A and B are shown apart, each in its own frame.
Chain A
């Protein structure tokens, strides 16, 4: 079975030594993210996130199905992550690695179970018809920080997505195509984002570790928060012990980072909306709808 190549002893020692001297390999501060880049596709609901050399694409798609019998008033929302050999030869199709399982679990907890998306708004006719929303996460390039990048991608894609409008007449629902009526944005209740802390000896906590740093670290703590400072989940899968006070400090750092990223995503969404609205077509269409 293919495995990720291990980092050499020299590199391991050097990274540790450098961290003791308060230096990161790429010259970043301990609590700094790599340069973040976010672009949207031509279609609604495609977000392409680049975090340093890591690249993740999230894509939202929608379908109509019957709701689950035990949740008649809810639509369905599903996040699918499958690694491909594109990101690393160590990833095999159909055989999830630990990293893949952790990523999908964290996204599930952070976004789905924290009710970031109002699934009730996806219901068309209770018990009969609902929208099934699906977020596909494609890992294109892997240089560490997959969880943070994937979370940004999914949240940005969700905010960018527009679902088709429906016309309900009694038991009959008609899906209106994009040409018939302007599609509508999803109802997002809050915007959780992940910040991963990698920790090393002597209580050194790094934000957004790259792959080399991830291979050297003693363990990781993944925090998910929204900009209001509400913690959605904290995960620490084994690894060396940490001081609870240090964890508190992490939440403070995370809040600041989440606020920055939320603003960044917002700005990019606005920029994209402006680009789409070239010529004021959108305003014209919405005026028509209002009549």
Chain B
């Protein structure tokens, strides 16, 4: 799997921003917050979260509204809204480009983009230093139809639009999002599938997102992966995320070692 490319905190106006590019999807995310919330949206004990998904072409349609709802519900569970009550966290995700074949893959296009939107939103939140309960990682898994009904086919992991096109017809697709402590945050599935298939996909997704199960929970990596230079294939999405944050921290602290 190719690690997504990320640029953090590159916009001047927004409090946090990230540009995320992966297998043909390119999204710019910006976060403003915590800022003043409008009276009608104010919640006495919680922060209000506003998610705007803006398509590359045209103005928002029900598809974008649906994605916004999914993102809102997922992000609400990782943002520590109780720490910043009566404020607004505004998340804007501008889709810059989609893979050329996105429309012709025959699968639900709001699911194929969902992991990328989730990652962009998380990165922008990290860049804005909004207090978070945990991180999240997300992946798409597609199960193509097999030749015979009895044998199950190998699920595709984070397939590119082109791979989906070649694997046509795809029987079901699943989006999973996991928190840093390996808890399932979101699952959206589309198509026909058995429970066994779903469980297999879920297990595989967990492995991709959080890496192999290791004893002792999360341990702080104390420079043991210092040689990591961004080009190396990251084993799990969580490792990738740590790599991104490492670069951010190094950039912020470079004055300490500057001449």
Interface residues of A (CB under 8 A from B): 1-2, 41-43, 46, 53, 55, 57, 59, 61, 80, 82, 84-89, 93, 134, 136, 138, 140-143
Chain B residues, Cβ within 8 Å of A84: 52, 54, 92, 94
- Are A136 and B57 within 8 A (Cβ)? yes
Contact B13 A87 (CB under 8 A): yes
A97 to chain B, nearest CB (A): 15
Chain B residues with CB below 8 A from A59, complex form: 56-57
Q: Which of B31-39, B185-193, B195-203 contacts A (4 or more CB under 8 A)?
A: B31-39
Instruction: Return chain A residues, CB-CB under 8 Å to B100.
Output: 43
B43 is an interface residue with CB less than 8 A from chain A: no
Nearest CB of chain A from residue B95's CB, rounded to whole Å: 9
Chain B residue at smallest Cβ distance from A41: B97
- Interface residue count on the B side (C-beta < 8 Å): 24
Which chain B positions have C-beta within 8 A of A43?
A: 97, 100
Report the separation of the CA atoms of residues A93 and B53 in the bound assembly, to the nearest whole angstrom: 11
Distance of A57 Cα from B54 Cα, bound (Å): 13
Contact B56 A2 (CB under 8 A): no
User: Which 3 pairs show the lowest CB-CB distances between chains A and B?
Assistant: A86-B30, A86-B92, A61-B57
The answer, among A42, A86, A134, for a CB contact under 8 Å with B57, is: A134
Cα separation A111 to B32 with both chains bound (whole Å)? 33
**Bound complex: CA A57 to CA B94 (Å):** 11
Distance to closest chain A CB from B67 (angstroms): 14
Q: State in angstroms the CA–CA spacing of A160 and B67 once bound together.
A: 31
Chain B residues with CB under 8 Å of chain A are 11-14, 28, 30, 32, 35-36, 38, 50, 52, 54, 56-60, 90, 92, 94, 96-97, 100
On chain B, the residues within 8 Å of A93 by CB distance are 52, 60
Which A residues lie within 8 Å of B54 (CB)? Answer: 82, 84, 138
**Nearest-CB residue, chain B, relative to A178:** B100
Find out whether the CB atom of A80 lies under 8 angstroms from the CB atom of B58. yes
A residues less than 8 Å from B14 (CB atoms): 86, 141
A42-B12 in contact (CB<8A): no
**Which of B32, B56, B59 has a CB less than 8 Å from the CB of A89?**
B32
Question: Which residues of A have CB within 8 Å of B97?
Answer: 41-43, 46
Within the complex, the shortest CB–CB distance from B10 to chain A, in Å, comes to: 9
Q: How many Å lie between the Cα of A66 and that of B100 in the bound state?
A: 25
Docked CA distance A41–B12 (Å): 21
List, in ascending order, chain A residues with CB within 8 A of B30's CB: 85-86, 140
Give the distance to chain B from A43, nearest Cβ to Cβ, in Å: 6
Q: Which of chain B's residues has its CB closest to A57's CB?
A: B96
Asked if B32 and A85 sit within 8 Å, CB to CB, the answer is yes
User: Bound complex: CA of A151 vs CA of B35, how far in Å?
Assistant: 31
Most buried by B among A2, A42, A46, A85: A85
Whether the Cβ atoms of B11 and A86 lie closer than 8 Å is yes
- Report the separation of the CA atoms of residues A42 and B90 in the bound assembly, to the nearest whole angstrom: 29
Residues on B with C-beta less than 8 A from A87 are 13
CB distance from A280 to the nearest CB of B (A): 23
Report the separation of the CA atoms of residues A226 and B52 in the bound assembly, to the nearest whole angstrom: 37
A143 touches B12 (CB 8 A): yes
**Separation in Å of the A150 CB from the closest CB of chain B?**
15
Kindly provide the distance from the CB of A66 to the nearest chain B CB, expressed in whole angstroms: 19
Min CB gap A137→B, angstroms: 12
> In the complex the two chains form, is A89's CB within 8 Å of B94's CB?
no
* B38 and A140 form a contact (CB under 8 A): no
Residues of A within 8 A of B32 (CB): 85, 89
B28 touches A80 (CB 8 A): no
Q: Which residues of B contact A136 (CB under 8 A)?
A: 56-58
Q: Is there an interface contact between B94 and A138, defined as CB atoms closer than 8 Å?
A: yes
Q: How far is the CA of A190 from the CA of B196 in the complex (A)?
A: 62
Cα distance, A135 to B59, chains bound together (Å): 11
**20 A-B pairs, CB-CB below 8 angstroms?**
A2-B35, A2-B36, A2-B38, A42-B97, A55-B11, A59-B57, A61-B57, A82-B54, A84-B94, A85-B32, A85-B52, A86-B13, A86-B94, A87-B13, A88-B13, A89-B35, A140-B28, A141-B11, A141-B14, A143-B12
Quick check: A80 and B11 within 8 Å, CB to CB? Answer: no
Q: Beyond the given A84-B92, A89-B32, could you list 10 further A-B residue pairs with CB under 8 A, ordered by the A residue number? A: A1-B38, A53-B13, A80-B59, A82-B59, A84-B54, A86-B94, A89-B90, A93-B52, A140-B28, A141-B13
